[in-house]
Structure 1
Amino acid sequence: MPDLQCTYLCPIRASSTDGAAIEEFAQYWRFLAEQGCEVLVVDGSPEPVFSRHAAAWTHCRHIAVDNKYTYLNGKVNGVMTGVNAASHDKIIIADDDIRYTASDLRRMTEDLEGYDVVKPQNYFGLVPWWSRIDSARMLINRAVVPEGDYPGTNGVRKSIFEKAGPYDGDVLFENEEMIRHFRNHDARFRYATDFFIRRMPPTLDKWLEQRPRQAYEDFAMKKKTTLFASLLPAHLLLGVFGKRKFLGLLALATSAVAVGLALRGRRNGAQKCIPARYALYAPLWVLERSINVHVALYWRFVKGGCPYTNVVIRKGTGDAWKVQSKKAA
């Protein structure tokens, strides 16, 4: 059995037992262990779900969230618990919908030899129509953000956690908050925009739930939020005042730019795992975000924040983004 000298850390929480999901995870934990990983699952599930997981998941270290961590974003509590408990300096932090292959694990651990943080990319395996829309979003991010899209997994050294200290866990966009926190502490970064890890698509209900939340997370990106907040009113005004010619031109131009950016995002390896036809879903993502940015604004000004499990989180992003903004200014 290989010894990768790494900890695979997965924070997880389930509100109810799902026999098929529990078995699928059990097989995945076993696969990771067979590849030489220490598999560490930090479980924030309530009883009796936690006990059911503990009985079924015998190929991992299954532990509870340390109650000394009380961040509003429960995933951060799981990450901090797991980092403290990890036996290795090389840690692969992954959401519960991420699926590594043996070659992915080898590459991640090899990249962590020379870097403190390795940020790969994601792609969807089985792809229902809503995940094709999300695939177009990934491609557009890859086209406009030099560091690439925002993945649900990162490779991180435990030593950089010890150097940088805890990051802001009272935010929605916790993965990128962690990344920017480490960047502020001079971590050595590898933006692996040619390294793709498979992600399982969410259910339709879960995907719909995530739409306004992702729009809320983007509030720190003021230009992006302003652009999407203005698109729908601009189209509606042109329709109301009978400027149908201009309405059609604006819709056509918006769609063409979206598709063009998505196609541009397929470079550097993305063309191997994201088909070109998914770029045609880019206008649907622009429409979706143009609607949900207004839902997110409603949450912000009427509810005081974004509903998240049993709490309301006001901050999409936190302290690390503020430092980055000051540096840029």
Structure 2
Amino acid sequence: VVRPQNYFEPLPWHARWDSGRMLLNRLTGGDWPGTLGVRRSRLQATNGYDGSVMFENLELVRTVLASGGREAVLYDAYVLRRPSTTRHFFSQRVRQAYDEIARPPRFVAQLAVLPIIIALAVTGHWLAIALCFLTLVIAAEIGRRRAHATRFFPRSTPIFAPLWMAERAVCSWLALGARIFLGGVPYRGTILHRAATPMRVLRQRYAAAPAPPIVPAPAAPRRSA
């Protein structure tokens, strides 16, 4: 499965805000785009992937890996993504935070941000808070400079990384509350319970599955002399 990187065009304020997330992700394993490329025979051999989870693209990648496939993160392949409406952007905040339940170390780290910032604020460590914000801006700028992403992310986008992290710090706790009190996160009139299937479960499921056949590319037609 091939995982390219998204960028927004045009760039209303909320697309710039979400671009901060994309840039940080480029330092931690790559952004998760809305576009993936997957070998058809590989996916057919698994009978598809479970679409009843919140983090669908992670579910697809994990399914391919568990069935013996490989993942390639293409940091230098960029796919245009049109920004959502402002209303849809707000509706995604808690849902995207809920995605990280599928990756417990990241989720725990994001849960820890809010208590740490509150503790620093209560004790008057404003310089430490400012340094945290500056570190996020620098990290996002490094992500912007990786693999020539400066062509697609304006200079202003790293400034939004601390704002996105502050949002995620709050929404992670809301996502945890949804998990505890609702059993999942509301989505299109229903409750989605799982963020994604754990890798160990998928590996057990496909342990005895045969490797999918490799389908060769069709040969080019011969030209008559």
Deviation at 1:181? 0.7
Quickly say closer, same or farther: Cα 1:306–1:178, change in 2 above 3 A: same
Partner SS state of residue 162, structure 1: helix
TM-score, with structure 1 as normaliser: 0.58
Equivalences for residues 160-175 of structure 1 within 5 A = 160-175=42-57
Q: CA RMSD in A?
A: 1.7
Partner SS state of residue 69, structure 2: coil
Hey, what does 1:259 align to over in structure 2?
Answer: 137
Hey, what does 1:211 align to over in structure 2?
Answer: 93
Does residue 226 (structure 1) correspond to residue 126 (structure 2)? The answer is no
Alignment match of 2:23 (pick from 139, 148, 153): 139
Please tell me whether the aligned partners of residues 170 and 318 of structure 1 are also in contact (alpha carbons under 8 angstroms): no
Hey, what does 1:195 align to over in structure 2?
Answer: 77
Q: Which amino acid aligns with 2:131?
A: A
Partner SS state of residue 3, structure 2: strand
TM-score, with structure 2 as normaliser: 0.84
Partner SS state of residue 154, structure 1: coil
Please tell me whether the aligned partners of residues 177 and 321 of structure 1 are also in contact (alpha carbons under 8 angstroms): no
Alignment match of 2:11 (pick from 110, 119, 127): 127
- CA distances 1:296-324 after superposition (whole Å, capped 9, x unpaired): 11111111110010210111111447557
- CA distances 1:166-209 after superposition (whole Å, capped 9, x unpaired): 22222100111101110112224432210101101111110111
Equivalences for residues 24-35 of structure 1 within 5 A = none
Hey, what does 1:153 align to over in structure 2?
Answer: 35
Quickly say closer, same or farther: Cα 1:321–1:309, change in 2 above 3 A: farther
C-alpha distance in structure 1 between counterparts of 2:198 and 2:50, whole Å: 6
Please tell me whether the aligned partners of residues 194 and 270 of structure 1 are also in contact (alpha carbons under 8 angstroms): yes
Deviation at 1:139? 0.6
Hey, what does 2:185 align to over in structure 1?
Answer: 306
Please tell me whether the aligned partners of residues 4 and 33 of structure 2 are also in contact (alpha carbons under 8 angstroms): yes
Please tell me whether the aligned partners of residues 120 and 128 of structure 2 are also in contact (alpha carbons under 8 angstroms): no
Partner SS state of residue 307, structure 1: strand
- CA distances 1:119-140 after superposition (whole Å, capped 9, x unpaired): 2110000111111111110010
Q: Which amino acid aligns with 1:291?
A: V
Partner SS state of residue 193, structure 1: strand
Higher strand share goes to which structure? 1
C-alpha distance in structure 1 between counterparts of 2:45 and 2:154, whole Å: 41
C-alpha distance in structure 1 between counterparts of 2:71 and 2:130, whole Å: 39
Structure 1: tracts of 5 or more residues without a match: 1-116, 325-329
Hey, what does 2:221 align to over in structure 1?
Answer: none
- Give the fraction of aligned pairs with identical amino acids, expressed as a percent: 36
- CA distances 1:216-253 after superposition (whole Å, capped 9, x unpaired): 0101222222222122222223444xx21x2x133112
C-alpha distance in structure 1 between counterparts of 2:200 and 2:194, whole Å: 11
**Which protein, 1 or 2, shows the higher relative CO under an 8 Å CA cutoff with sep ≥ 6?**
2
Does residue 237 (structure 1) correspond to residue 119 (structure 2)? The answer is yes
Does residue 281 (structure 1) correspond to residue 164 (structure 2)? The answer is no
Please tell me whether the aligned partners of residues 167 and 181 of structure 1 are also in contact (alpha carbons under 8 angstroms): yes
Hey, what does 1:88 align to over in structure 2?
Answer: none
Partner SS state of residue 282, structure 1: helix
Q: Which amino acid aligns with 2:83?
A: P
C-alpha distance in structure 2 between counterparts of 1:189 and 1:235, whole Å: 36
Please tell me whether the aligned partners of residues 122 and 196 of structure 1 are also in contact (alpha carbons under 8 angstroms): yes
Q: Which amino acid aligns with 1:302?
A: F
Q: Which amino acid aligns with 2:182?
A: K
C-alpha distance in structure 2 between counterparts of 1:140 and 1:265, whole Å: 6
C-alpha distance in structure 2 between counterparts of 1:128 and 1:238, whole Å: 32
C-alpha distance in structure 2 between counterparts of 1:262 and 1:207, whole Å: 21
Matched length: 202
Q: Which amino acid aligns with 1:223?
A: P
Hey, what does 1:35 align to over in structure 2?
Answer: none
Alignment match of 2:148 (pick from 269, 284, 296): 269
C-alpha distance in structure 2 between counterparts of 1:293 and 1:237, whole Å: 17
Deviation at 1:261? 1.4
Please tell me whether the aligned partners of residues 219 and 225 of structure 1 are also in contact (alpha carbons under 8 angstroms): yes
